[in-house]
Amino acid sequence: MTLKNNTSYLSNSVKRTFLNAIILLFVICFSGFSCDSKEIQFEYVDPMEKILAESSFFPGSQEAISEVVRGEHASLQFVVRSPYTINNLRVTVTQASNKDKLLPASKARFVGFVKVGRSIWDYSRDRINSPSGYFPDPLLEEDEIDVKFGNSQPIWITIPIPSDAIPGLYRGKVIINGNIENKEFHIEKDYSVRVYPVTIDKTSLWVTNWFTIDAAQLKWMNRGEDFESFSPQHWEYIRKLAKMMAEYRQNSARISPLDLSDFAFINGKWQVDFSRFDKVVEIFIQEGVIGRLEGGHIGTRESNWDSQFVVRVPSVDRNAENRFEKLPLSNERAQQFYVDFFTSLKQHLKEKGWEGNYLQYIADEPTSSNVQSYVEIARFVKQVYPEIKIIEATHSKDLEDIVDIYVPQLDFMNKDYYFYNNINKNSEGKEAWFYTCLSPKGEYANRFIELPLLKTRYIHWLNFKYNIPGYLHWGLNHWRTDPWDEQTSINYEGGNILPGGDSWIIYPKGDKLLSSIRFEAMRDGIVDYELFKMLEKKDPEAARDIIDKVIYSFDRYDNNIAAFREHRRKLMELLSE
């Protein structure tokens, strides 16, 4: 029997009542009331989940809670989705309170989407696939945003937890407003933050993200418009960069005295003016990044990847196209310049009080094919400046013990772990870190946009698991093209693709710098490392038990988010006892 046949048995009054109810429902819905809760999805999703614009299944059973220690950041993620286009979506977050105690005001940001238009080979099994090719990453600092019908819009909420916060459970509300077809809606959700009686201050893991202050790339902080190098505007951008790095617990900065200094050849000797170098370093000290100071590379490959290393020497021709010439170390002019340069640098660092935390790069990523030319340059530098410490990202461990801080790629660290671990355990004054870049791929942790956020956070769980005191990445802000356009780039000669997320992890917007969900995960991973180090001092077996349940080997991890939360909660609980 059909519905039509059924309704024929109803009395006229019942029919009228039924019809009036339908009309009333229609009026209510289109006046903006019932649509709030029935048609607009507004759900909590764990911040470790990447929400694609195409995502549509949100069970709604997760409790909106962030569990943190004092001194870190609480993060929460909500998602909004509607079968209608939402205009002027706005977010308000009330301060979380515990009786008469309040946590600081939150920062609510919309997660933006960027295009990853090239797939790379050797991806992991847990790679995220996006039908549109767009992925969530930048954190937009907009007051409101429009959301097209059927799209999912993540909202990222961050709350800084003071080091003196009273432990306990704090509660607040997240409120969204907007309009659909000129009708306003308003939805509220509860959230909570549990603060444990554990405090994180400065972190001990050495972290360096190589950054650029080149005006040709920082122009994207000026809406793509060129500006004068080392103008007041340029110095303002450099300071903003340093401020953000400190906020995200970067504590070692690569700043090149060779590239930032001016040189003059007078009376048979090279004179060095360190003024510009000093000003950059002082900004990074003032903003709290340094830490450690890394001098940029003095050497480079003569031509292709397998060629020998040469050194960069200031051109004697002031009208030359390139500021530096490439010369072999055997060249007399090259030797004289570097004797004068490192003699001056040693004296200058001592006068500034920076000598104790200064590290020097020689030439990037020596391999078995050019390691001897690398060692030759490094030994020459040590002869001129015996106390200098050398740090290097390297593809070879056979550097004749000339390097003080070895930084192998993560897969090379895995392959030669016995060698590098022996340095960290037994070699006084020497260290071994690791780095990631466009490699390694496969199942290894990295920070590509297409990988789960856990794999970015787990980079620093690897630091603890394998007793590795530092991490390096080359690409904080290398915006060689518009960073809001294609996220990958390609080397047509070498056939290498730089995956999306390799060249930068922050974004320029106007004159602001925007974070990303990957940079948030990286910062939180640095805090996790510190919590593990604290538990290791208190109960080494307990720390080892937790880490071994998550990190099985250099390239095998538990990628279950719920399990990750349980293990981190256990870590905080044990530290609270």
Walk along the chain (577 residues) and give the pLDDT tens digit of each residue: 333 333 333 344 334 434 443 433 443 344 444 444 468 999 999 999 999 999 999 988 899 999 999 999 999 999 999 999 999 999 999 999 999 999 999 999 999 999 999 987 788 999 999 999 999 999 999 999 999 999 999 999 999 999 999 999 999 999 999 999 999 999 999 999 999 999 999 999 999 999 999 999 999 999 999 999 999 999 999 999 999 999 999 999 999 999 999 999 999 999 999 999 999 999 999 999 999 999 999 999 999 999 999 999 999 876 667 899 999 999 999 999 999 999 999 999 999 999 999 999 999 999 999 999 999 999 999 999 999 999 999 999 999 999 999 999 999 999 999 999 999 999 899 999 999 999 999 999 999 999 999 999 999 999 999 999 999 999 999 999 999 999 999 876 666 889 999 999 999 999 899 999 999 999 999 999 999 999 999 999 999 999 999 999 999 999 999 999 999 999 999 999 9
Beta strands 41-44 and 101-102 are unpaired
Note whether 213 and 260 are within 8 A (CB): no
3-class SS of residue 195: strand
Residue 57, in any domain of the structure: yes
Picking from 287, 283, 299, 154, the residue whose alpha carbon sits closest to that of residue 213 is 283
| Separation of alpha carbons 2 and 419, rounded Å | 78
Residue 481, in any domain of the structure: no
Enter the tokens of residue 500.
């999306």
Residue 346, in any domain of the structure: no
| Separation of alpha carbons 263 and 273, rounded Å | 6
Q: Which residues pair with 515 in a beta bridge?
A: none
The whole-number pLDDT of residue 26 equals 42
The H or E element containing residue 406 is strand 405-408
Residue 240, in any domain of the structure: no
Picking from 191, 276, 184, the residue whose alpha carbon sits closest to that of residue 238 is 276
| Separation of alpha carbons 53 and 56, rounded Å | 8
Residue 250, in any domain of the structure: no
Tell me the CB-side half-sphere exposure of residue 222, using CA atoms within 13 A: 18
Note whether 433 and 452 are within 8 A (CB): no
Picking from 115, 105, 118, the residue whose alpha carbon sits closest to that of residue 158 is 105
Residue 296, in any domain of the structure: no
Picking from 515, 482, 487, the residue whose alpha carbon sits closest to that of residue 109 is 515
Q: Give the orientation angle of helix 540-548 with respect to helix 561-576, to 10 degrees.
A: 170
Residue 26, in any domain of the structure: no
Is residue 383 classed exposed, middle or buried when 0-12, 13-18 and 19+ CB atoms within 10 A define those classes? exposed
| Residue 130 lies in domain | 40-199
The structural domain count of the chain equals 1
For residue 104, the 8-state DSSP code is P
Phi (first) and psi of residue 552, to 5 degrees: -85, -35
The whole-number pLDDT of residue 488 equals 95
With a CB cutoff of 8 Å and minimum separation 6, the contacts of 363 are: 297, 298, 299, 300, 301, 309, 374, 377, 392
Beta strands 309-314 and 299-301 are antiparallel
Beta strands 309-314 and 324-327 are antiparallel
Other beta carbons within 10 angstroms of residue 565's beta carbon come to 14
Picking from 244, 173, 185, the residue whose alpha carbon sits closest to that of residue 33 is 185
3-class SS of residue 326: strand
Between CA 216 and CA 225, with CA 219 as vertex, the angle to 5 degrees is: 110
The whole-number pLDDT of residue 16 equals 41
Residue 168, in any domain of the structure: yes
Question: To which residue do tokens 């002869």 refer?
Answer: 383
Note whether 565 and 287 are within 8 A (CB): no
| Separation of alpha carbons 371 and 452, rounded Å | 36
Question: To which residue do tokens 């238009």 refer?
Answer: 117
| Separation of alpha carbons 500 and 114, rounded Å | 9
- Which amino acid appears at position 147 of this protein? V
| Separation of alpha carbons 186 and 189, rounded Å | 10
Give all strands (DSSP E) within 224-298, no chain letters. Answer: 252-254, 262-266, 269-273, 292-295
Could you tell me the CATH number of the domain that includes residue 105?
2.60.40.10
- Terminal C-alpha separation, the chain: 67
Note whether 460 and 490 are within 8 A (CB): no
| Separation of alpha carbons 415 and 305, rounded Å | 22
| Separation of alpha carbons 239 and 442, rounded Å | 37
Other beta carbons within 10 angstroms of residue 494's beta carbon come to 9
| Separation of alpha carbons 442 and 365, rounded Å | 21
Beta strands 252-254 and 292-295 are parallel
The whole-number pLDDT of residue 442 equals 95
